[in-house]
Amino acid sequence: MTKYPRARLTAAVVVAFLCGLVFASGSNLTHLGWAQSKTAPKPTLQQVQPLVETQNAFEAIADHVTPAVVSIQTERFARTKTNNRQQRQRLPGGIEDFFRQFDPQQDQPSEASGSGFIVSKDGYILTNNHVVADADKVTVKLLDNRTYNAKVIGRDPTTDIAVIKVDVSDLPTVALGDDANARVGQWVVAIGNPLGLDFTVTAGIVSARGRSLGALLNTRYAIQDYIQTDAAINPGNSGGPLVNIRGEVIGINSAIASNTGFYAGYGFAIPITLAKQVMDDIIQYGKVRRAVLGINIGEVDPNDAQVAGLKDIHGVKVSGFDPADDPDASPAKKAGVEVGDVIVAVNGQSIDRVSTLQRVIRGFKPGETVRLDVMRFGDKKTLNVKLGEPPADRATDVASADESGRQPVSRGTERSYDKLGISVQAVPPELAQQARVGEQWRHGLLVTDISPSGPAYRQLSENTSIIERVLYPQKRDIRSPADFEDIVSKLKSGDLITLMVYDIRPPGATTTVTLKVQ
């Protein structure tokens, strides 16, 4: 082929390609240009509208709720040294910094700040107990800068709730919601006065429910039903409201989990239904009329569920009775509940965890009767318990039995049990005296060593756990190493053994531990 026909063929191909582009462009198949457009289309009005509605909701919440939020300033005058420092040392890691501002030095007057919210037009205000505890003067400031002296009507350290009042009428109030309707993932707003920045609004979601903070309040009946949120909460937010997207208060902001004492993504609020019950009792009776079963409780783990005869892991295990110094006074024990039982239902309502049991029981008053369904090592029992009131708190005894200043445990004749990964000995008299261990707990075996590779690792504690009784596979009080040896020697690898253990650390309580033999 000559070069001219070849040139004509090339020209024809080029012309055909260009004609194809024109045709495709005219048919909306593509656009002329150097490259296909990659620009995303603008959102439609229907797509934008939900975002606008959410923004409007947050604005409405802030406008409606903030006028009923107050800034609380407290003053504490010089006083003798307290045990606050010792108590703070027993708080979970990262929690203690949140309370540091409320711990006055013994020689200097101190000031602290917190938040609260108005619940009645005549001046009743809800806040945290730790905001106003031991305060000599409480001052309340409103959004419009009006300032009033407030009176502490009542406090409940167990729930960290306090009620204060100002003598003013026709105040703005908040609407109280129902925290039972709160779901993980729902929007919430926290309002308060963090770090001296009055009337700050932050938004986030409910990130968990039924959260336990361990020994945060250091009381036997401390709640384990906190609402967890990632709305920013800092020191000074204490006592402020946690509000749902409808503008209803569902919790009282109370604590944060942080290694620095400042916001790190985890805040905790007390459920408003609990707070309202406490508030109503304080206003009507001058104290909290809390119904209790009189038991020490714990979460159920796989081993507990297996020995209880449960098909799945749920319920609440009974690990002891309260008061510890008079267990026969426990309403649950009077009704026939035993250590090692697993509570699976109350009045027909299924119980899956500790927070659920607490939520159900606090719906009753002392003197009322509830029906408990319990699993007792494979057998189901139904028991009727007449609810009682909690015994007086033994805070003084707890503080005096603190571990600080305790002498090292003297070593006696130890016996090791490789099947459980522990060594034990008789309880040394000097330890029992120092830790104020009751006579009924001194006959057991003190755990002196725990193997990191054994089943008891992180289940028992060295020099603080006293094995008092074997509950499964047979019930037997432990009075000597020979008693324990007689049971453990018969166990094979994979068998389960349930122990009742007394922990000498404050506040001093029993627990149950189920171990799988190795």
Q: Which residues are catalytic?
A: 130, 160, 238
Q: Do 421 and 451 touch, CB atoms closer than 8 A?
A: yes
Cβ within 8 Å of residue 153, ≥6 positions away: 124, 163, 164, 165, 282, 283
Q: Which residues of 32-64 are buried (b: 16+ CB within 10 A; e: fewer)?
A: eeeeeeeeeeeeeeeeeeeeeeeeebeeebbee
Long-range contacts of 408-413 (CB under 8 A, 24+ apart): 409/446, 409/448, 409/463, 411/448, 413/481
Residues β-bridged to residue 149 = 139
Which position has the token pair 């000074």?
A: 236
Cβ within 8 Å of residue 413, ≥6 positions away: 425, 426, 481
How far is residue 332 from each of residues 76, 128, 327, 389, measured CA to CA in Å? Answer: 41, 31, 10, 12
Residue 391 DSSP class: P
Which position has the token pair 């239902």?
A: 345
Residues 155, 133: Cα–Cα separation, whole Å: 8
How far is residue 325 from each of residues 117, 212, 238, 328, 439, measured CA to CA in Å? Answer: 40, 26, 35, 9, 10
Long-range contacts of 16-19 (CB under 8 A, 24+ apart): none
